[in-house]
């Protein structure tokens, strides 16, 4: 036996075996990586990359159907789906059904976290009845409610989270630094809340005279009459940070910063300003320079502002809307000039660093209408433009836009939760997803201008209902004593805060 030849054959076999094993490992790793990345073979043998969909609903534990096929598992729900459009249906016994034709992009995560199911038969109850209302508004985070009755100098702060809403009464004349008689005059508007619901910006108008106030809801003696304190007529005031220790102020077209702790106000950072929006310590504004409108960014603490884009030559008829925010560590800026809308995304530039290009175009479109309203949802994922009987929304996560035709024009863009819009149509409260889908009637026979909301813990739907009370009064006539007295009837309008359970 030729031992050298045998050894050579054995070595060749070992090499071939090792090569085969290495090749097998590489193939297995490659296949596993492809599977992890969502690649699968179709029935036609074509390799396609799937995408991951995540469905979150309120209430949770709802059934999911995809393309008419019932799925194993309930919301919260995740599954790999082939790229393309799929029909998604989410349902739960005793609730209505949510449906959507959802586009899945291969290799990407699509999160649908706005699925809201409303109970078909819900328990309703009355929380409290108020005299004719002067003001009623819910906080941005849907945890609190402020109510002020007509001819009352008491501000009522209501916690709407629990089974038994709790009311704290606050002396309004202390907040406004005025007499009790004076406090019940004029119109009071709540412009902004801080995140902890402890401070608000209020605009008080009496006989065409406007004053701006920072109202401290926990310590009324710490409230500040900003107009009186700085002896300036402000056009707008916005809360810069969570504690409201800093405020952006627009005064006679000048941008300033108010320090509420030190009670100081800065000199103007910019002038000739027409529009302003902010995202905490960054402010965007449109001003006029050399007869040209210009869009700019200014960051608190920097020496100057950065020009982003020239918009147009100044004309009185130009309609401009402006909003900004941050989503998933990406800054964005949305604005419209007449019928054109723009979305920019990236990072807000810093002054003096030539960084304007960091905000890149995400969307440029010309609409068939001129937006009169522009609003942003609570987590700053969605921007909504509206005008006439049309609405256009843009999703910062998916980069999709949606054009929606409305049966009735939106007089304001009202969020009932983080993703649903509500509208009063023929005295019925209608809700729809921000993309226009799943239009539903949730409350009937509501004839009043006051707001509607879903509590932040998703347990209650709140609204106001009108209650008419008739009182009869007998009055003596200036006629002989044997005549019957005259009976007069007086109708009083009251408002009842109502709610129904969503559980």
Report pLDDT for 3.
64
Report pLDDT for 277.
97
Q: Kindly report, residue by residue over 74-123, the tens digit of the pLDDT.
A: 999 999 999 899 999 999 999 999 999 999 988 889 999 999 999 999 88
Going by CATH, does the domain composed of 48-116 fall within 2.120.10.30? no
Structure tokens belonging to residue 489: 């009837």
Distance separating alpha carbons of residues 107 and 160, to the nearest angstrom = 42
Report pLDDT for 289.
86
User: Chain-wide mean pLDDT for the chain?
Assistant: 89
Neighbouring CB atoms inside 10 A of 278's CB total 20
Report pLDDT for 482.
58
Percent of the chain with pLDDT over 90: 74
Residue 363 pLDDT > 80 = yes
pTM of the model: 0.86
160 touches 147 (CB < 8 A): no
Residue 324: exposed, middle, or buried by beta-carbon count in 10 A (0-12, 13-18, 19+)? buried
Report pLDDT for 35.
52
DSSP one-letter code for 270? B
Residue 42 pLDDT > 50 = no
CA atoms within 13 Å, Cβ hemisphere of 169: 5
CA atoms within 13 Å, Cβ hemisphere of 423: 21
Distance separating alpha carbons of residues 337 and 285, to the nearest angstrom = 13
Report pLDDT for 474.
59
Distance separating alpha carbons of residues 297 and 284, to the nearest angstrom = 5
List, in sequence order, every beta strand (DSSP E) within 186-305.
187-193, 199-206, 209-216, 224-225, 234-239, 246-251, 254-259, 264-265, 273-279, 282-289, 292-299
Q: In what helix (H) or strand (E) does residue 26 lie, and over which residues does it extend?
A: helix 3-36
Residue 133 pLDDT > 60 = yes
Report pLDDT for 95.
96
Report pLDDT for 134.
93
Render 57-126 in DSSP notation, one character per residue: EESSS-EEEETTEEEEEESSEEEEEESEEEEEEEE-TTB--EEEEEEE-TTSEEEEEEEE--BSS--EEE
∠ CA 103-105-108 to the nearest 5 degrees? 130
189 touches 135 (CB < 8 A): yes
Residue ranges per structural domain of the chain: 48-116
Region 444-463 average pLDDT: 93
CA atoms within 13 Å, Cβ hemisphere of 424: 15
Distances in whole angstroms, Cα of residue 459 to Cα of each of 134, 160, 193, 483, 503: 27, 10, 22, 59, 6
Structure tokens belonging to residue 382: 């969605």
């Amino acid at each position: 036996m030729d031992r050298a030849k045998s050894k050579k054959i054995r070595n060749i076999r070992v090499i071939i075996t090792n090569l085969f094993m290495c090749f097998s490992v590489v193939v297995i790793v490659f296949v596993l990586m492809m599977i992890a990345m969502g690649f699968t073979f179709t029935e036609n043998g074509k390799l396609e990359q799937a995408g991951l969909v995540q469905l979150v609903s309120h209430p949770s534990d709802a059934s999911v159907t995809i393309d008419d096929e019932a799925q194993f598992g309930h919301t919260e729900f995740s599954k790999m789906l082939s790229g393309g459009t799929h029909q998604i249906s989410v349902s739960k016994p005793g609730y209505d059904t949510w449906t959507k034709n959802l586009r899945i992009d291969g290799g990407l995560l699509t999160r649908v976290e706005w699925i809201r199911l409303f109970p078909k038969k819900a328990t309703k109850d009355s929380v409290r009845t108020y005299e004719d209302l002067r003001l009623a508004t819910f906080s941005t985070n849907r945890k609190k409610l402020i109510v002020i009755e007509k001819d009352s100098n008491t501000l009522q702060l209501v916690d709407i989270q629990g089974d038994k809403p709790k009311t704290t009464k606050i002396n309004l004349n202390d907040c406004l630094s005025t007499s009790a008689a004076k406090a019940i005059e004029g119109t009071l508007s709540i412009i902004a809340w801080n995140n902890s619901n402890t401070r608000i910006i209020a605009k008080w108008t009496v006989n065409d005279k406007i004053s701006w106030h920072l109202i401290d809801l926990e310590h009324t003696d710490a409230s500040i009459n900003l107009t009186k304190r700085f002896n300036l007529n402000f056009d707008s005031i916005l809360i810069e940070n969570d504690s409201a220790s800093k405020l952006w102020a627009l005064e006679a077209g000048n941008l300033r910063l108010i320090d509420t702790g030190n009670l100081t106000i800065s000199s103007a950072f910019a002038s000739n300003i027409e529009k302003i929006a902010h995202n905490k310590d960054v402010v965007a504004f449109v001003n006029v320079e050399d007869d040209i409108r210009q869009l700019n960014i200014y960051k608190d603490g920097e020496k100057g502002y950065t020009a982003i884009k020239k918009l147009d030559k100044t004309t009185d008829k130009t309609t401009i809307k402006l909003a900004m925010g941050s989503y998933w560590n990406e800054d964005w800026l949305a604005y419209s000039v007449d019928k054109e809308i723009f979305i920019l995304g990236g990072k807000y530039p810093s002054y003096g660093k030539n960084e304007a290009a960091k905000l890149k175009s995400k969307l440029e479109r010309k609409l068939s209408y001129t937006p009169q309203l522009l609003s942003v949802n609570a987590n700053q994922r969605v921007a909504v433009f509206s005008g006439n009987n049309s609405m256009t929304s843009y999703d910062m996560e998916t980069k999709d836009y949606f054009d929606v035709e409305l049966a009735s024009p939106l007089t304001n863009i009202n969020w009932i939760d983080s993703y649903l819009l509500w509208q009063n149509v023929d005295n019925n409260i209608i809700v729809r997803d921000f993309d226009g889908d799943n239009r539903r009637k949730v409350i009937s026979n509501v004839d009043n201008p006051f707001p509607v909301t879903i509590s932040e813990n998703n347990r209650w739907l709140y609204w106001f209902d009108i209650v008419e009370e008739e009182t009869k009064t007998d009055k003596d006539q200036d006629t002989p004593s044997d005549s019957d007295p005259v009976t007069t009837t007086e109708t009083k309008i009251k408002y009842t805060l109502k709610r129904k359970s969503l559980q």
